[in-house]
């Protein structure tokens, strides 16, 4: 069975905001089409319309030449169309198997769920990712105990379980590590050969060139063109997406001098997934944290921010500290930008100013000096080139990149001396990324010490002069100077003990 | 690894802690009231709690599905009034059967109204069912302005006597557990838990979330009907317009004592049944331990709070030692 | 004015207030005697008691985490009984009575907060359990006998017209409204309260001590309920074992009718004030119509469903 889907002039408005003004896309069986665009350009909206999660305000979907209208996700699924979403659609209190087969459970006698078959089928699906996942990922594991990358894999398996004709991967690689991404790509190639159509949404340029046949570019809710990957370049695509762009290579943060004061001195730190980690960080240094996903990078940052209990000795500016709560860490001018901005960083329904000032209200007096708070927030918004309608608008009306600016801004308002960053450019568009890199440079020049975890290897190698590579919660290697290369980073991530490259 | 397994056991069988709690309070009960396990005493004790048990079962289903039903108690009042206006001591079996069917249908209809308002008008369950509880109260008062009513004596005698030397309540519990064990294996149960745990995720996966939400209230209405039937059996048909009103909050406490999380997506009806028993046994203990009348309410409340605080207290202590 | 701007200005609290005014004049159709200054003041006075009792409920509901305080009714009763007993009708002891009431409310609220924040007991059952504890304590202390009296001073300053024919309780209510607005919108506590109502993880990672804010919130709720009980005594003049029970759920309804989200993180006290007015008006209207109690209940329930249907709706799953 072959499939041919055409999306014609789709329009979608949320309240007064136009998310999509003219969305177009063509795909057929055996094709991998990449859908790309800056944050807020309408990619996710378009994919949700194709899968029936969101109802369009105008335009048309043509399936094999006939207009179709999906009134809900089941309708689209009935036609073999499904998606792996960016915001996970898993039910936390159910097991992996129950999640994967939810709403199409194998049945006995037409009403009883056949658990045995469900388990078996789940095992077969999990086997697709064998070798790239931990022992934890079993059919009977509750989804709530899984780390983000393995949840993402469950999400992928769930989409696969209906044997789709058209599969949309919406930022499906964002929380996967490189071995998992490699596996996914080899699977995509297989599916493509088997005649499936795949729409692939990502922010990582290299992935588009590795996997896609065509790329359809969206800008401000409008399709601006489709190019053949074989006959295009990164530059061309970036130019289609935005007017100007910066890559990390344009900005190199200078090596910090040996006599800069030590801001952070960590000895034998343990806690969460972290074990026996020691390092120092000087004022004005941008220290990278690398490695595969979930190797303790996030827990290390959380521990240093007092958000999880830890053991070992931590000195800030030479003074030993004992945190029990993030507020304790904040007293030492430490700030933390969490990895999951929707869940950990923002009060989505509250206003921009309330998000900006949340850590800082104390300084505006018993009864807040509202004018001063407004003034500071406006200054920060201008400084970060925030695009917003007004200080009182809720933060969930902002695009991803702008929302991340609010998370960053709320800490910059406190003028931190030590900044802990957990993958701050994840899901952020290319233009905003460039602004972030410039900001990091400005901050280090002003003497801020920054501990920077990124899942994007290019970013780490491009920006940092020293990278700690974590594996299983331990520092596997420290890369500096000549050794700051892709192959060294990958080797250390995979736990290779010598300096030879791994194939 | 071993502790992990233990944790898993507790996570999957949420009523285990409640069961342990029940065993403890039963032990204390035995100390203060030696004959508690005698057939006659057991029968009397269990019989009076069947209505609340049924109500708590309905409440559990709503809670698992992510809702809350504050109208169940007034619904029992309304349905009891309805039953009593239809059944007299001289009713024929046919008439009684018709009344029973009518009461069940009325209960499900009331639940349907609750469910439609919550799921389709998208109103908050707690405040919606609080509002509808006024309507049910009003109807109860219309049907039964003055306390009264009675049913054929044979019926109440049958309900009072053990069957084959086993208290009738045991059959009720067995039937409930059987009902649940069948329901639990259906696709509907998957939908129920998915809806309660994460409505948005369930919806995106193709679960008919709104329909499932409506059905939970229909279940609750049906169980309220069954509760009012058994309540009338145990009172011999004597009713009043607010006879069930106080059962609402008890049903919620029982659900929580049974280890079901109020935010939904987890738990089961076995927990609710255990929760009702715990509530009852605590009252028994207070009575037989000769606690002065004026102090009984206080002691009862303190014990319930202690029971609720147990898991949290253990967690706090473990955290402060574990560091 | 287009629908967009209309929607922006027509916030739930304003709708509730407009509705209250409309209801008042609707009362005139049913019974022309309904519309007069005395009646208006009387209704606002009744609403004031509910409004004061619902103040703490507003904070608790905004704090999120399924926040709810079912113990307000019992605390109201406790405060009234304490004042009744301690003063024994002596005007000089009114201050002592107030202090004792507030202390009792403080303790009950603090225990609620500790149970909820530290022992992780769901608010609904914790405050329900505390209701039992408070009622039980009342029984133990009073042994069912209501000894004491209400000081004349209290009825003078609370229930009777004080300035320009306006009873003290209304003036106190308005003052409380200002204090509550400042507390919620202009203090760090208020900002932290909304923050934990929206997202506790994000709040904690922004340096908010979530447990502390929760405990403070329930403690304030206890205090405010006790204040409400004290005031209510000045009006009721006498105490009953279930004096406060009729306020338990209406205090929640007033908050919701005022547009505060039951899920937390969004809301206002002036919404609750409007909500209290609306509920009191509906109640008075139904009484003025001379309906039988059964019909009053049915109409009240139906109207409540309609009211929350106007704007109390949850997000649609499909956008």
pLDDT exceeds cutoff 50 at A499: no
Residue partners of A219: CB distance under 8 A and separation at least 6: A37, A38, A41, A240, A241, A242
pLDDT in tens, chain B (323 residues): 344 455 555 555 667 878 888 888 888 888 887 777 777 777 777 888 899 999 999 999 999 999 999 999 999 999 999 998 888 878 788 888 998 999 999 999 999 999 999 888 888 888 889 889 999 999 998 988 888 878 877 777 777 777 777 777 888 889 999 999 888 888 899 899 999 988 888 888 878 889 999 999 999 999 999 999 999 988 887 788 888 888 888 899 899 888 888 888 888 898 899 999 988 888 888 888 878 878 888 888 888 888 788 777 777 777 776 54
pLDDT exceeds cutoff 80 at A292: no
Q: What length is written for chain C?
A: 319
Chain segment C254-306, per-residue pLDDT in tens: 998 888 888 888 899 998 999 999 889 888 888 877 788 888 888 888 888 88
Q: Is B161 within 8 Å of chain A by CB?
A: no
The mean-pLDDT minimum among A14-18, A432-436, B123-127, C197-201 falls in: A14-18
Average pLDDT, chain C: 86
How far C195 CA sits from the closest chain A CA (Å)?
Answer: 7
Q: Is A477 within 8 Å of chain C by CB?
A: no
Mutation for testing the B interface, residue in A93, A272, A322 having most B CBs under 10 Å: A93
Chain segment C40-95, per-residue pLDDT in tens: 888 888 999 999 999 999 999 999 888 999 999 999 999 999 999 998 888 888 88
Q: What length is written for chain A?
A: 503
Mutation for testing the C interface, residue in B125, B126, B305 having most C CBs under 10 Å: B305
> Are A103 and B205 spatial neighbours (Cβ–Cβ below 8 Å)?
yes
How far C59 CA sits from the closest chain A CA (Å)?
Answer: 16
Separation between Cα atoms, residue A387 and residue A398, nearest integer Å: 8
Q: Is B135 within 8 Å of chain C by CB?
A: yes
Residue A341: closest CA among chain C residues belongs to which residue?
Answer: C202
Decide if C265 and A367 are in contact by the 8 Å CB cutoff: no
Predicted local distance difference test score (pLDDT) of residue B213: 93
Residue A222, strand partner residues: A22, A219
3-state percent breakdown (helix, strand, coil) of chain B, nearest 5: 80, 0, 20
| Chain C 188-217, residues with CB within 8 Å of chain A CB atoms | 188, 191-192, 194-195, 198-199, 201-209
Decide if B194 and A85 are in contact by the 8 Å CB cutoff: no
**What residue ranges in A44-186 does DSSP mark as E strands?**
58-63, 66-68, 81-84, 107-108, 112-113, 166-170
Decide if C194 and A367 are in contact by the 8 Å CB cutoff: no
> Are A17 and A397 spatial neighbours (Cβ–Cβ below 8 Å)?
yes
Which chain A residues are Cβ-neighbours of B205 within 8 angstroms?
73, 89, 91, 102-103, 158
Predicted local distance difference test score (pLDDT) of residue A421: 93
Q: From residue B234, give the alpha-carbon distance in Å to each of B80, B101, B157, B226, B281.
A: 12, 19, 9, 12, 19
Residue C192: closest CA among chain A residues belongs to which residue?
Answer: A358
> Are B67 and B214 spatial neighbours (Cβ–Cβ below 8 Å)?
no
Place of tokens 């609290």: C13
With H, G, I as helix, E, B as strand and everything else as coil, classify residue B240: coil
Buried b (16+ CB within 10 A) or exposed e, B43-72: bebbbebbbbbbbbbbbbbbbbbbbbbbbb
Q: Is A446 within 8 Å of chain B by CB?
A: no
pTM for the model stands at 0.82
Separation between Cα atoms, residue A290 and residue A485, nearest integer Å: 12
Residue partners of A216: CB distance under 8 A and separation at least 6: A24, A25, A26, A33, A34, A35, A36, A223, A225, A226
Residue A58, strand partner residues: A11
> Are C160 and A309 spatial neighbours (Cβ–Cβ below 8 Å)?
no
**Nearest residue to B108 (alpha-carbon basis) of B223, B213, B8, B30:** B223
Decide if B302 and C133 are in contact by the 8 Å CB cutoff: yes
Q: What length is written for chain B?
A: 323
Separation between Cα atoms, residue C2 and residue B174, nearest integer Å: 61
The minimal CB distance from C301 to the residues B132, B262, B295 is found for: B132
Separation between Cα atoms, residue A498 and residue A487, nearest integer Å: 12
> Are B13 and B260 spatial neighbours (Cβ–Cβ below 8 Å)?
no
With H, G, I as helix, E, B as strand and everything else as coil, classify residue B270: helix
Separation between Cα atoms, residue A278 and residue C224, nearest integer Å: 51
> Are B231 and B76 spatial neighbours (Cβ–Cβ below 8 Å)?
yes
The minimal CB distance from B197 to the residues A73, A93, A107 is found for: A93
How far A420 CA sits from the closest chain C CA (Å)?
Answer: 12
The pair of three-digit structure tokens given for residue B258, joined into one six-digit string: 């049974």
Decide if A103 and B205 are in contact by the 8 Å CB cutoff: yes
How far B183 CA sits from the closest chain C CA (Å)?
Answer: 26
Decide if A343 and C207 are in contact by the 8 Å CB cutoff: no
Separation between Cα atoms, residue A152 and residue A60, nearest integer Å: 30
Which chain C residues are Cβ-neighbours of B316 within 8 angstroms?
118-119
> Are C48 and C235 spatial neighbours (Cβ–Cβ below 8 Å)?
no
Q: Is A134 within 8 Å of chain B by CB?
A: no
Distance of CA A379 to the CA centre of its chain: 28
DSSP assignment string, chain C: --HHHHHHH--HHHHHHHHHHHHHHHHHHH-GGG-SHHHHHHHHHHHHHHHHHHHHHHHHHHT-TT---TTHHHHHHHHHHHHHHHHTT-GGGHHHHHHHHHHHHHHHHHHHHHHHHTS---HHHHHHHHHHHHHHHHHHHHTT-------HHHIIIIISEEETTEEHHHHHHHHHHHHHHHHHHHSHHHHHHHHHHH-HHHHHTTT--HHHHHHHHHHHHHHHHHHHHHHHHHHH-S--TTSSGGGHHHHHHHHHHTT--TTSS---HHHHHHHHHHHHHHHHHHHHTT--HHHHHHHHHHHHHHHHHHH-BPPPS--
Mutation for testing the B interface, residue in C73, C112, C125 having most B CBs under 10 Å: C125
B neighbour chains, 3+ CB pairs within 8 Å: A, C
Chain segment A61-78, per-residue pLDDT in tens: 898 889 988 888 888 888
pLDDT exceeds cutoff 60 at C318: no
Which chain B residues are Cβ-neighbours of A82 within 8 angstroms?
none
Which chain B residues are Cβ-neighbours of A113 within 8 angstroms?
185-187, 189-190
Q: Is C287 within 8 Å of chain A by CB?
A: no
Rounding to the nearest 10 degrees, give the CA dihedral for residues A77, A81, A87, A90.
40
Distance of CA A32 to the CA centre of its chain: 22
Distance of CA A318 to the CA centre of its chain: 35
Region C136-147: mean pLDDT is 86
Decide if A113 and B185 are in contact by the 8 Å CB cutoff: yes
How far A345 CA sits from the closest chain C CA (Å)?
Answer: 5
> Are A391 and A374 spatial neighbours (Cβ–Cβ below 8 Å)?
yes
CB atoms closer than 10 angstroms to residue B169: 21
Average pLDDT, chain A: 84
Q: From residue A416, give the alpha-carbon distance in Å to each of A175, A443, A450, B20.
A: 28, 10, 10, 51
How far A120 CA sits from the closest chain C CA (Å)?
Answer: 32
Q: ipTM surpassing 0.95, yes or no?
A: no
Predicted local distance difference test score (pLDDT) of residue C54: 94
Predicted local distance difference test score (pLDDT) of residue C189: 95
With H, G, I as helix, E, B as strand and everything else as coil, classify residue A22: strand
Residue C256: closest CA among chain B residues belongs to which residue?
Answer: B127
Mutation for testing the A interface, residue in B14, B65, B190 having most A CBs under 10 Å: B190
Decide if C302 and B135 are in contact by the 8 Å CB cutoff: yes
Indicate the pLDDT class of residue C312, thresholds 50, 70 and 90: low
Indicate the pLDDT class of residue A498, thresholds 50, 70 and 90: very low
Q: For the packed helices C168-186 and C269-288, what is the interaxial angle rounded to 10 degrees?
A: 150
Eight-state DSSP code of residue B166 = B
> Are A321 and A282 spatial neighbours (Cβ–Cβ below 8 Å)?
no
How far C156 CA sits from the closest chain B CA (Å)?
Answer: 35
The pair of three-digit structure tokens given for residue A356, joined into one six-digit string: 């900006």
Which chain B residues are Cβ-neighbours of C66 within 8 angstroms?
262-263
Chain segment A376-419, per-residue pLDDT in tens: 999 998 888 888 888 888 888 787 788 889 999 999 999 999 99
**What residue ranges in B36-171 does DSSP mark as E strands?**
none
Indicate the pLDDT class of residue A243, thresholds 50, 70 and 90: very low
Separation between Cα atoms, residue C57 and residue C272, nearest integer Å: 9
Decide if A102 and B323 are in contact by the 8 Å CB cutoff: no
The pair of three-digit structure tokens given for residue B209, joined into one six-digit string: 């979330």
Q: Is A113 within 8 Å of chain B by CB?
A: yes
pLDDT exceeds cutoff 80 at A367: yes
pLDDT exceeds cutoff 50 at A25: yes
Eight-state DSSP code of residue A319 = E
Residue C7: closest CA among chain A residues belongs to which residue?
Answer: A15
Q: From residue B138, give the alpha-carbon distance in Å to each of B68, B74, B78, B143.
A: 21, 9, 8, 9
Which chain C residues are Cβ-neighbours of A347 within 8 angstroms?
194-195, 198-199, 202-203, 265
Chain segment A80-114, per-residue pLDDT in tens: 898 887 666 888 888 899 989 888 888 887 778 88
The minimal CB distance from C119 to the residues B209, B304, B312 is found for: B312
Which chain A residues are Cβ-neighbours of C9 within 8 angstroms?
none
Decide if C198 and A349 are in contact by the 8 Å CB cutoff: yes
Which chain C residues are Cβ-neighbours of B295 within 8 angstroms?
136, 139-140
pLDDT exceeds cutoff 90 at C156: no
Separation between Cα atoms, residue C23 and residue C30, nearest integer Å: 11
Q: Is B202 within 8 Å of chain A by CB?
A: yes
Q: Is B242 within 8 Å of chain A by CB?
A: no
CB atoms closer than 10 angstroms to residue A109: 6
């Amino acid at each position: 069975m072959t499939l041919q889907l055409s999306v014609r002039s789709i329009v979608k408005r949320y309240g007064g905001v136009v998310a999509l003004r003219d969305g177009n896309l063509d795909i057929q069986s055996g094709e991998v089409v990449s859908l790309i665009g800056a944050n807020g350009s309408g990619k996710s909206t378009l994919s949700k319309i194709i899968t029936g999660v969101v109802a369009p305000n105008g335009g048309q979907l043509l399936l094999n030449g006939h207009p179709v209208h999906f009134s809900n996700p089941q309708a689209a699924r009935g036609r073999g169309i499904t998606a792996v979403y960016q915001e996970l659609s898993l039910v936390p209190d159910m097991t992996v198997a129950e999640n994967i087969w939810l709403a199409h459970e194998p049945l006995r006698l037409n009403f009883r769920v056949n658990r045995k078959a469900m388990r078996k089928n789940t095992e077969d699906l999990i086997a697709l990712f064998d070798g790239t996942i931990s022992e934890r990922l079993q059919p009977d594991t509750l989804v709530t105990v899984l780390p983000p990358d393995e949840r993402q894999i469950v999400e992928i398996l769930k989409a696969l379980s209906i044997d789709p004709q058209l599969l949309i991967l919406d930022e499906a690689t964002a929380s996967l590590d490189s071995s998992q991404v490699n596996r996914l790509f080899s699977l995509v190639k297989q599916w493509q050969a088997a005649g499936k159509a795949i729409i692939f949404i990502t922010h990582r340029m290299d992935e588009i060139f590795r996997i896609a046949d065509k790329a359809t570019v969206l800008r401000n809710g409008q399709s601006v063109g489709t190019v053949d990957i074989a006959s295009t370049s990164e530059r061309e695509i970036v130019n289609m997406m935005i007017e100007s762009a910066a890559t990390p290579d344009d900005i190199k943060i200078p090596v910090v001098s040996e006599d800069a004061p030590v801001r952070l001195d960590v000895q034998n730190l343990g806690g969460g997934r972290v074990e026996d980690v020691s390092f120092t960080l000087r004022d004005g240094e941008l220290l990278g944290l690398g490695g595969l996903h979930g190797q303790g990078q996030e827990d290390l940052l959380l521990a240093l921010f007092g958000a999880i209990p830890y053991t070992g000795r931590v000195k800030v500016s030479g003074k030993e500290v004992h945190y029990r709560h993030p507020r304790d860490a904040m007293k030492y001018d430490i700030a933390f930008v969490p990895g999951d901005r929707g869940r950990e960083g923002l009060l989505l329904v509250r206003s921009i100013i309330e998000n900006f000032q949340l850590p800082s209200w104390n300084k505006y007096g018993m009864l807040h000096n509202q004018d001063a708070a407004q003034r500071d927030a406006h200054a920060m918004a201008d400084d970060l080139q925030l695009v917003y309608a007004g200080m009182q608008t809720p933060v969930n009306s902002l695009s991803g990149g702008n929302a991340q600016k609010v998370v960053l801004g709320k800490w910059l308002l406190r003028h931190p001396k030590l900044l802990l960053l957990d993958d701050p450019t994840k899901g952020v568009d290319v233009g905003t990324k460039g602004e972030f890199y410039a900001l990091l440079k400005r901050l280090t020049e002003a003497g801020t010490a920054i501990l920077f975890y990124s899942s994007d290897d290019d970013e780490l190698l491009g920006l940092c002069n020293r990278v700690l590579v974590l594996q299983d919660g331990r520092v596997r290697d420290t890369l500096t100077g000549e050794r700051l290369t892709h192959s060294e980073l990958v080797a250390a991530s995979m736990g290779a003990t010598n300096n030879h490259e791994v194939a | 690894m071993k502790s992990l397994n233990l944790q898993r056991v507790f996570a999957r069988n949420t009523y285990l802690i409640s069961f342990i709690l029940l065993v403890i309070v039963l032990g204390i009960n035995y100390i203060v009231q030696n004959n508690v396990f005698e057939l006659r005493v057991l029968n009397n004790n269990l019989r009076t709690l069947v209505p609340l048990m049924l109500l708590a079962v309905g409440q559990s289903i709503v809670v698992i599905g992510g809702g809350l039903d504050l109208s169940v108690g007034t619904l029992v009042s309304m349905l009891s009034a309805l039953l009593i206006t239809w059944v007299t001591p001289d009713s024929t079996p046919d008439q009684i059967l018709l009344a029973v069917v009518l009461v069940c249908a009325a209960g499900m209809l009331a639940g349907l109204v609750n469910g439609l308002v919550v799921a389709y008008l998208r109103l908050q369950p707690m405040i919606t069912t609080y509002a509808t509880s006024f309507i049910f109260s009003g109807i109860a008062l219309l049907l039964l302005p003055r306390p009264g009513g009675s049913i054929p004596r044979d019926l109440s005698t049958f309900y009072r006597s053990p069957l084959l030397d086993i208290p009738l309540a045991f059959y009720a519990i067995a039937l409930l557990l059987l009902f649940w064990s069948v329901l639990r294996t259906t696709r509907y149960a998957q939908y129920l838990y998915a809806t309660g745990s994460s409505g948005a995720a369930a919806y995106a996966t193709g679960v008919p979330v709104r329909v499932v939400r409506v059905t939970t209230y229909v279940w609750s209405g049906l169980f309220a009907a069954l509760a009012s039937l058994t309540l009338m059996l145990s009172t011999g048909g004597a009713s009043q317009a607010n006879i069930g009103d106080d059962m609402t909050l008890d049903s919620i406490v029982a659900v929580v004592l049974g280890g079901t999380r109020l935010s939904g997506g987890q738990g089961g009806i076995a927990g609710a049944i255990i929760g009702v028993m715990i509530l009852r046994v605590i009252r028994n203990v207070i009575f037989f331990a000769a606690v002065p009348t004026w102090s009984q309410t206080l002691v009862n409340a303190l014990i319930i709070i202690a029971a609720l605080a147990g898991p949290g207290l253990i967690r706090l202590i473990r955290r402060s030692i574990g560091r | 004015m287009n629908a967009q701007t209309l929607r922006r200005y027509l916030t739930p609290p304003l709708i509730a207030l407009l509705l209250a005014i409309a209801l008042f004049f609707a009362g005139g159709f049913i019974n022309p005697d309904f519309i007069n200054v005395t009646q208006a003041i009387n209704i606002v006075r009744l609403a004031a008691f509910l409004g004061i009792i619902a103040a703490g409920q507003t904070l608790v509901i905004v704090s999120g985490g399924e926040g709810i305080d079912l113990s307000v009714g019992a605390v109201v009763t406790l405060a009234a009984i304490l004042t009744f007993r301690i003063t024994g009708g002596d005007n000089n002891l009114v201050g002592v009575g107030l202090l004792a009431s507030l202390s009792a409310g403080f303790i009950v609220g603090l225990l609620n907060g500790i149970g909820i924040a530290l022992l992780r007991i769901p608010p609904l059952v914790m405050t329900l359990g505390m209701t039992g504890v408070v009622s039980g304590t009342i029984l133990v202390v009073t042994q069912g006998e209501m000894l004491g009296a209400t000081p004349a001073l209290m009825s003078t300053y609370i229930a009777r017209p004080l300035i320009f024919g306006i009873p003290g309780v209304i003036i106190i209510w308005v003052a409380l409204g200002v204090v509550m607005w400042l507390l919620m919108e202009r203090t760090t506590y208020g900002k932290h309260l909304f923050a934990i109502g929206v997202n506790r993880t994000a709040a904690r990672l922004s340096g908010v001590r979530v447990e502390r804010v929760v405990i403070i919130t329930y403690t304030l709720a206890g205090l405010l309920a006790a204040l409400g009980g004290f005031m209510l005594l000045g009006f009721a003049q006498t105490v009953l074992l279930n004096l406060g029970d009729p306020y338990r759920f209406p205090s929640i309804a007033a908050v919701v009718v005022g547009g505060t989200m039951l899920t937390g993180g969004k809301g206002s006290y002036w919404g609750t004030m409007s909500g209290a007015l609306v509920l009191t008006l509906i109640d008075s209207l139904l009484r003025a119509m001379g309906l039988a109690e059964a019909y009053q209940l049915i109409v009240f329930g139906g109207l409540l469903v309609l009211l929350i249907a106007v704007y109390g709706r949850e997000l649609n799953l499909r956008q």
